[in-house]
A and B are shown apart, each in its own frame.
Chain A
Amino acid sequence: MTGAATVLDIRRLCVDYGVGEDAVHAVSDVSLTLRRGEILGLAGESGSGKSTLVFAITRLLRPPAVITGGEAIFFPRDASANKRQNGSFSVSESSDAFIRDDALTGGPTDILRLSPANLRAFRWNELAIVFQSAMNSLNPIMPISAQIMDVMRTHRPQMSATERKQRAAELLRLVGIAPDRLGSYPHELSGGMRQRVGIAIALALNPDIIIMDEPTTALDVVMQREILNEITRLREQFNFAVLFITHDLSLLLEIADRVAIMYAGRIVEEGTQRDLYLHPRHPYSYGLIHSFPSLHGPRQRAIGIPGSPPDLRAVPSGCAFHPRCPLAMPVCTTALPQLLPQPSAEQTRVACHLYAPTATGEPPTADEMRAGYEALAKGSGSL
């Protein structure tokens, strides 16, 4: 995926809840780049700001949340390039149904500054979302066919009713549901099927980006696996970029190309899936990765990160992770570490004083981090 063109560039995004002195900084200074066709995983504990980030870049935040700074630049696909070349669109390719709205065919656009009309055109055309619980994100009194087709009716008014219906049936087939379920209501479908319908709706307009906000959290593990396979398969077929939000890092390490880890509203580490898995640098990343047992490799005791995520109303000074960090140094309590590229790995960035160029001494090894966590665990165990 290296070298692929950027499709979404989030730059120094800040989101507060409330204004003034008491404002809670849910997302602080987050920069992330999503490249065309890649799966970028965003992991973090509850309250780390990952969902707020998603709602900010989709402009779905509700008061009292306010975007206080930053940009989310969307790069439209080259007009000449046909992104659908890998797709099989027997129904629609022949017709003019997929001629795009002109609103966004220009250059890079800041989503956060789109006019209401352009925002509406942008939504779902370029960026679709699969929500956390498909159970609640489908309208309970509307058959799923209507919920798939109203996207087309709004964004592709040229499509005829028959074309819409054909496309809806095709979409259901794509996600492995028999088209005869078109008339079903959400309550008549199983949890897994509903999530598939959610994915089908997301695919309806062939967006460049699909954001998946914990799409498998509400499902049992078997269904999780199926949905993940489905997502991977569809991604290969249609080449959309995925921003995959989850608190389940093990899942991300499996499907994502790159992973970013958030803590207390900031990105603490970002890197390729492989690099992050093999060499987690930030002590928090290390803790997350080793807090679940691995099925492969040598037997290791799972470690836990002591304490709990910080209250965003009172984020610790300096590095927000320092009260829970086994390797905290005096500087961690005072200075905010910058997210800096690492010389050892091209795509990795870490926000930790241990890796700063000014750091004295060598960065910690994996064994040192493990030892640190075990010492912390013993310490708290004796309390």
Chain B
Amino acid sequence: MKRLLRRLGIYLLAIWAAVTVNFFLPRLAPGNPADAVFFRLAQHGAVSAATRKALEAEFGVDTTDPLWLQYLHYLNNLLHGNLGVSITYFPANVSDVIAQNIGWTLALLTMSVVISFTLGTLIGVFMAWKRGSALDTTLSSVMTFLYSILYPWLALVAVYFLGFKLGWFPFSDGYDSSTTTMGWNLDFILSAAQHAVLPALTLVVSTVAGWMLTMRNSMITTLSEDYILMARAKGLTSRRVMFAYAARNALLPSVTGFAIAIGAVVGGQLLVEIVFSYPGIGFALYQAIQNQDYALADGILLLVIIVTVVMNLIVDLLYTVLDPRTRLERTA
């Protein structure tokens, strides 16, 4: 319990540090959100000085307060759950923007990561088990090839051939807004699933090799352990030796990676969402950065930080379940 509390303390400290960096970094860059909106409005016609004043007031950049005071205001707002107003999606609240986009990202990316992890890990287990066989050597080279492909290239190739040329899958947006309405109806779900195929496919293809190679290597090390020899000598079925003895032990290093990947999901995969114009959080972040939308960028990054920290905490707890050796620390 004491250990858990200490851990929590460390995590809170990490969040505070990240929030602070988050606040100062964008504000050190030239320009400000009021300028950005001002120029956008100015493209459609003259904008009065009063409007500009109002914009500055709205975004809180008219202040003569020193940066540290603004920082304290920001912290205060954060504590009250107020993330501010987005410029990109003006006049929506940042929390609303995030709420709207996060669902898309979570559904798409969580699915991809889970599929990729499960598939890659299983293939890795079998490859290590059949080490040196034709299956292993072929897959090893194929996977190394996949592993070295640059994601944007893969995504563009998929968009061009599978989406544009062959027209098998839609390649932009999250669903077909002209024929379906958002909600729990079959048409919408099917449409959303169809739109998710290409981005999910490219993600899985580009990440599966990493999981697989990690698992294969870990598994090969584990397979040379004495307890595997003993398990075989005991006449256990290959399946039991492979999974209960070997894979279960070899999996431990991958667990951390998996948690980090899940944590990163919340931040969205910028490239994926940009290439496929997917209405997710990564896309929102991309726009926020382009528009110097401090509030939205801060909000999204805050979310990423919190989720990463929470995932770390979960891994910590998970480890004590998965690896009894780490429990020793608690009693010591």
Contacts and interface: CB of A to CB of B under 8 A. Distances in A.
Interface of A: 58, 60, 63, 119-125, 128-129, 131-133, 136-143, 150-151, 154-155, 185, 187-188, 201
Contacts of A121: 235
A201 B244 CA distance: 17
Interface string B226-250: 1101111111110010001100110
A215 B322 CA distance: 29
Given A137-B226, A139-B227, A154 B249 contact: no
Nearest to B322: A141
Nearest to B248: A141
Given A140-B227, A142-B245, A143-B324, 9 more contacts: A58-B233, A120-B236, A120-B237, A123-B232, A123-B233, A128-B233, A136-B225, A136-B226, A187-B328
B323 interface: yes
B44 interface: no
Interface of B: 132, 225-227, 229-237, 240, 244-245, 248-249, 322-325, 328
A150 B234 contact: yes
Nearest to B230: A137
Contacts of B225: 136
Nearest to A184: B324
Contacts of A136: 225-227
A165 B249 CA distance: 24
A185 B324 contact: yes
A129 B230 contact: yes
A366 to B, nearest CB: 40
B253 to A, nearest CB: 13
A132 B236 CA distance: 20
Contact of A60 (B132, B229, B236): B229
B323 A141 contact: yes
B235 A155 contact: yes
B152 to A, nearest CB: 40
Interface of B, secondary structure class, is helix
A125 B236 CA distance: 11
Contacts of A131: 226, 229-230
30 contacts: A60-B229, A60-B232, A123-B232, A123-B235, A124-B234, A124-B235, A128-B233, A129-B233, A131-B229, A131-B230, A133-B226, A136-B227, A138-B227, A139-B227, A139-B231, A139-B244, A140-B227, A140-B325, A141-B248, A141-B322, A142-B244, A150-B240, A150-B244, A154-B234, A154-B236, A154-B237, A155-B235, A185-B324, A185-B325, A187-B324
A201 B324 contact: no
Residue among B132, B230, B236 with the most chain A CB within 10 A?
Answer: B230
Contacts, number: 76
A121 B233 CA distance: 11
Contacts of A201: 234
Contacts of A142: 244-245
A139 B249 contact: yes
Contacts of B249: 139-141
Given A137-B230, A139-B245, A154 B324 contact: no
Contacts of A140: 227, 249, 323-325
B325 A150 contact: no
A218 B325 CA distance: 21
A138 B229 CA distance: 10
Contacts of A60: 229, 232-233
B325 A123 contact: no
Contacts of B322: 141
Given A133-B226, A139-B227, A154 B245 contact: no
Nearest to B132: A63
Contacts of A120: 235-237
A353 to B, nearest CB: 39
Contact of B324 (A119, A137, A141): A141
A217 to B, nearest CB: 13
A139 B231 CA distance: 9
B324 A150 contact: no
Contact of A137 (B229, B235, B248): B229
A36 to B, nearest CB: 21
Nearest to A116: B238
A89 B132 CA distance: 46
Which 9 A-B pairs have CB atoms at the shortest separation, nearest pair first? A123-B235, A136-B226, A137-B226, A185-B324, A137-B230, A120-B235, A139-B227, A124-B235, A129-B233
A260 B328 CA distance: 44
Contacts of A119: 235
Contacts of B233: 58, 60, 123-124, 128-129
Contacts of A124: 233-235
Contacts of A133: 226
A139 B324 CA distance: 11
A120 B233 CA distance: 8
Given A139-B245, A187-B325, A187-B328, A154 B235 contact: yes
